Amino acid sequence: MSSHSQAKSARIAADRRLASALATSALLLVVAVTATGCMQAAAQVSTKDPADPAVTVARTGYRSTIAPYAPLRPSTPAPWRGRNNDVTPKPKQDQP
Protein backbone atom coordinates (compact mmCIF):
# COMPACT_ATOMS: atom_id res chain seq x y z
CA MET A 1 0.00 0.00 0.00
CA SER A 2 2.96 2.32 0.24
CA SER A 3 3.00 2.87 -3.53
CA HIS A 4 -0.67 3.86 -3.36
CA SER A 5 -0.04 6.43 -0.66
CA GLN A 6 3.00 7.78 -2.55
CA ALA A 7 0.90 8.23 -5.68
CA LYS A 8 -1.81 9.91 -3.65
CA SER A 9 0.64 12.32 -2.01
CA ALA A 10 2.22 13.07 -5.41
CA ARG A 11 -1.21 13.87 -6.80
CA ILE A 12 -1.96 16.18 -3.88
CA ALA A 13 1.37 17.96 -4.36
CA ALA A 14 0.67 18.39 -8.07
CA ASP A 15 -2.79 19.80 -7.31
CA ARG A 16 -1.25 22.29 -4.87
CA ARG A 17 1.32 23.40 -7.46
CA LEU A 18 -1.43 23.89 -10.03
CA ALA A 19 -3.57 25.84 -7.56
CA SER A 20 -0.56 28.00 -6.65
CA ALA A 21 0.20 28.69 -10.34
CA LEU A 22 -3.44 29.62 -11.03
CA ALA A 23 -3.55 31.90 -8.00
CA THR A 24 -0.33 33.63 -9.11
CA SER A 25 -1.71 34.10 -12.64
CA ALA A 26 -4.97 35.50 -11.29
CA LEU A 27 -3.08 37.90 -9.03
CA LEU A 28 -0.94 39.13 -11.93
CA LEU A 29 -4.06 39.65 -14.04
CA VAL A 30 -5.74 41.68 -11.27
CA VAL A 31 -2.60 43.83 -10.85
CA ALA A 32 -2.34 44.43 -14.62
CA VAL A 33 -6.00 45.42 -14.96
CA THR A 34 -5.75 47.71 -11.94
CA ALA A 35 -2.57 49.32 -13.27
CA THR A 36 -4.20 50.16 -16.60
CA GLY A 37 -6.75 52.24 -14.73
CA CYS A 38 -3.91 54.40 -13.39
CA MET A 39 -2.51 55.24 -16.84
CA GLN A 40 -2.92 58.65 -18.45
CA ALA A 41 -5.54 59.05 -21.12
CA ALA A 42 -4.35 58.56 -24.67
CA ALA A 43 -3.03 61.66 -26.39
CA GLN A 44 -5.39 63.25 -28.86
CA VAL A 45 -4.13 62.58 -32.38
CA SER A 46 -6.21 65.14 -34.23
CA THR A 47 -8.15 68.20 -33.19
CA LYS A 48 -10.54 67.93 -36.13
CA ASP A 49 -13.85 66.18 -35.67
CA PRO A 50 -14.35 63.55 -38.40
CA ALA A 51 -18.13 64.01 -38.19
CA ASP A 52 -17.90 67.73 -39.05
CA PRO A 53 -18.65 68.29 -42.77
CA ALA A 54 -16.99 71.73 -42.72
CA VAL A 55 -13.54 70.31 -41.96
CA THR A 56 -11.12 70.55 -44.89
CA VAL A 57 -9.12 67.51 -45.83
CA ALA A 58 -6.29 66.84 -48.25
CA ARG A 59 -7.33 65.84 -51.75
CA THR A 60 -6.65 62.31 -52.87
CA GLY A 61 -4.65 61.71 -56.01
CA TYR A 62 -5.33 59.24 -58.79
CA ARG A 63 -2.63 57.07 -60.28
CA SER A 64 -3.50 54.61 -63.00
CA THR A 65 -2.43 51.03 -62.36
CA ILE A 66 -1.61 50.48 -66.03
CA ALA A 67 -0.09 53.90 -66.80
CA PRO A 68 3.35 52.67 -67.95
CA TYR A 69 1.78 50.12 -70.30
CA ALA A 70 2.89 50.26 -73.91
CA PRO A 71 1.77 47.68 -76.48
CA LEU A 72 4.70 45.60 -77.72
CA ARG A 73 3.23 44.43 -81.01
CA PRO A 74 5.53 45.44 -83.86
CA SER A 75 2.77 45.37 -86.46
CA THR A 76 -0.81 44.37 -86.99
CA PRO A 77 -1.50 40.64 -86.68
CA ALA A 78 -1.43 38.51 -89.83
CA PRO A 79 -4.56 36.66 -90.98
CA TRP A 80 -5.10 33.51 -88.94
CA ARG A 81 -5.11 31.16 -91.94
CA GLY A 82 -1.68 32.34 -93.09
CA ARG A 83 -0.24 32.02 -89.58
CA ASN A 84 -1.74 28.55 -89.25
CA ASN A 85 -0.19 27.43 -92.56
CA ASP A 86 3.21 28.77 -91.41
CA VAL A 87 3.30 26.54 -88.33
CA THR A 88 1.79 23.31 -89.68
CA PRO A 89 4.25 20.46 -90.32
CA LYS A 90 5.21 19.82 -93.92
CA PRO A 91 3.78 16.59 -95.40
CA LYS A 92 6.27 13.71 -95.66
CA GLN A 93 7.17 12.33 -99.09
CA ASP A 94 6.51 8.63 -99.75
CA GLN A 95 9.72 6.65 -99.45
CA PRO A 96 10.26 3.46 -101.54
Q: What is the pLDDT of residues 37-47, one digit of tens each?
A: 777 777 777 77
Domain membership flag for residue 11: yes
Domain membership flag for residue 3: yes
Q: Please check the confidence at residue 76 and state whether its pLDDT lies above 90.
A: no
Whether pTM exceeds 0.85: no
Domain membership flag for residue 4: yes
DSSP H or E segment with residue 85: helix 80-87
Give 96's pLDDT tier (boundaries 50, 70, 90). Answer: low
Domain membership flag for residue 58: no
Q: Look at the chain and report how many structural domains it folds into.
A: 1
Looking at residue 25, its pLDDT comes to: 92
> Residues 44-64: pLDDT tens digits?
777 788 788 888 888 888 888
- Cα–Cα distance measured from residue 18 to residue 10, given in angstroms and rounded to the nearest whole number: 12
Cβ(19)–Cβ(26) below 8 Å: no
Domain membership flag for residue 9: yes
Residue 1: name the closest of 62, 9, 88 by CA. 9
- Cα–Cα distance measured from residue 41 to residue 89, given in angstroms and rounded to the nearest whole number: 80
Domain membership flag for residue 25: yes
Domain membership flag for residue 62: no
Domain membership flag for residue 23: yes
Buried b (16+ CB within 10 A) or exposed e, 60-69: eeeeeeeeee
Domain that holds residue 25: 1-35
Rounded to 10 degrees, what is the CA torsion of 21, 26, 32, 38?
-140
